[in-house]
Amino acid sequence: DQQVKQNSPSLSVQEGRISILNCDYTNSMFDYFLWYKKYPAEGPTFLISISSIKDKNEDGRFTVFLNKSAKHLSLHIVPSQPGDSAVYFCAASTSNTGKLIFGQGTTLQVKP
């Protein structure tokens, strides 16, 4: 049972444009959501997170939106840069479990 889903395996955007990565979840008990960026054979790098009490969190070029009623979150990267090319994972957790449930990942390619 995939509780966290990233339905787009890949995304290609032009440098300078907006990248929008999407994530859906099924478990209404999730109360903390994170986005990670990952290169092959390396550990995920934390990008940005959002608590379920908020609907938006912004950090530089990265903004995460949370729609609890739709059980959907998205990561916006503006403007996209070639260095953003990587696999992006969304993850969800329930308070105080130390357990992250990951989506399958979306490969982002930013073309110069």
Question: If binding is defined by CB under 8 A, does position 45 make contact with other proteins?
Answer: yes
CB of 31 to other proteins, least distance (A): 9
C-alpha to C-alpha distance for 33 and 66, rounded to whole angstroms: 9
- The closest of 91, 96, 86 to 73, measured between CA atoms, is 91
Question: If binding is defined by CB under 8 A, does position 89 make contact with other proteins?
Answer: yes
CB of 40 to other proteins, least distance (A): 9
> What amino acid occupies position 87?
V
Tokens of 72: 């959907």
Question: If binding is defined by CB under 8 A, does position 25 make contact with other proteins?
Answer: no
Question: If binding is defined by CB under 8 A, does position 43 make contact with other proteins?
Answer: yes
